[in-house]
Amino acid sequence: MILKIYRSVAQRYKAFDSKKEMDEHVRAHVFASGRKLHRNARAVLDTIARHSVAVYGVSWLNEETIAEVVKVSERTVKRAIDRLESLGVGRREVVEFQGMTLRYFVINKYDLDLTEECREDDSKVSKVEIEETPVVPTLETDSDDDEPQRNSKTQETQDQKISKDVKNVSDDTLDASYTPSNVPEQFVSVVKTFFNDAKKIYRIWGVVNSATKKLDVIQAPIETVIQAFKESVFAFKAGRVRKTLECFLYGTLLNKITLTRRQSYEQKQYISPLFEENDQIYTLRYQLNFIDDFYGVSV
């Protein structure tokens, strides 16, 4: 009876649709936390994750039981859970239900911390109000614009930012070879030229995922992603980025993907009238091809 109550109430905190999805987010948290996630906290997290499959991402294992499994004191378990909360890996939830106090630990979804500033122009993009980003011939080329040079102090500050990210790598930083395998090698190969830091590369790839998710696209063409990254770095080095490199890349990807989708749609619309002889069959074929082209799904 009590178990049914725990499961029923836990449903409101369910964040994942499968164990595989939950495990991917747990691994992302572990990777992003790095050395901040000490051994005991990692052991506690692993134990909680193993007991979060009845309702994916939600555990009601008490601290005493966790202590027995991990073979540490309850006090150590409490400190470990505090650490997990401080790192954003998960959170405690306490519910009063029918005179009972139900305690849960909920694993958070790992998400790129894009600020609202990065998303504030999303509505404009969705309306296809797009300005194409100029093609950048090479990243090493200096800007040839005739417009007046920006404030020298601003330019110097931004140059120092990118220089700090690229060159002043701390001793405990993982290089690009440690980047998780779910990030395409072609993307890693390009990005590591500027940021030889696995965590930085993983974060930038998170921007790509956020942009494709925003537009309901399963996967953007890797060539488009790489070109967007190169143009974003060029703009950053030229002092044209007002916010952050990640925000600029996010907006650039939204523009590029939406523009490509619109152009291909218009092309399909232009071609489709040629098949008026059997309109229904060719309309269906067009729709299937469109899905295959843009969403990477073969039907």
CATH of the domain at 17: 1.10.10.10
Q: Are 215 and 258 spatial neighbours (Cβ–Cβ below 8 Å)?
A: yes
Report the distance separating Cα 56 and Cα 255, nearest Å: 35
The answer to whether residues 142 and 282 belong to one domain is yes
The answer to whether residues 161 and 55 belong to one domain is no
Residue type, 248: F
- Compute the C-alpha angle 47/48/53, nearest 5°: 110
The answer to whether residues 19 and 165 belong to one domain is no
Q: Are 104 and 60 spatial neighbours (Cβ–Cβ below 8 Å)?
A: yes
The answer to whether residues 120 and 100 belong to one domain is no
The answer to whether residues 159 and 81 belong to one domain is no
The answer to whether residues 159 and 236 belong to one domain is yes
User: Over the range 116-141, which residues count as b (16 or more CB within 10 Å of their CB) and which as e?
Assistant: eebbeeeeebeeeeeeebeeeeeeee
- φ and ψ at residue 114, rounded to 5 degrees: -75, 130
Report the distance separating Cα 299 and Cα 286, nearest Å: 12
* Reported pTM: 0.46
The answer to whether residues 96 and 120 belong to one domain is no
The answer to whether residues 163 and 217 belong to one domain is yes
The residue among 87, 107, 127 that closes a domain is 107
Residue 246: per-residue pLDDT: 84
- Cα dihedral across residues 50, 51, 56, 58: positive or negative: negative
Number of domains in the chain: 2
The answer to whether residues 101 and 128 belong to one domain is no
pLDDT tens-digit map of 193-217: 888 888 889 888 888 888 887 777 7
- Per-residue pLDDT tens, the chain, 299 aa: give them: 788 888 889 998 888 999 988 998 888 888 777 788 899 999 999 999 999 999 999 999 999 999 999 999 999 999 999 999 988 899 999 988 888 899 999 998 876 445 455 655 554 444 443 344 444 444 444 444 444 455 445 555 555 555 455 445 454 568 888 888 888 999 999 999 888 888 889 888 888 888 887 777 777 889 989 999 999 888 888 888 777 888 888 888 888 888 877 776 666 554 444 444 444 444 444 444 444 444 444 44
The answer to whether residues 42 and 183 belong to one domain is no
Alpha carbon 196 to chain centroid, angstroms: 19
Structural domain range at position 81: 2-107
Q: Which residues pair with 96 in a beta bridge?
A: 101
For residue 177, give the 3-state DSSP assignment.
Answer: helix
The answer to whether residues 138 and 253 belong to one domain is yes
Report the distance separating Cα 226 and Cα 224, nearest Å: 6
The residue among 89, 107, 125 that closes a domain is 107
User: Over the range 42-80, which residues count as b (16 or more CB within 10 Å of their CB) and which as e?
Assistant: bbbbebbbebbeebbbbbbbebeebbebbebeeebbebb
The answer to whether residues 103 and 151 belong to one domain is no
Q: Are 90 and 49 spatial neighbours (Cβ–Cβ below 8 Å)?
A: no
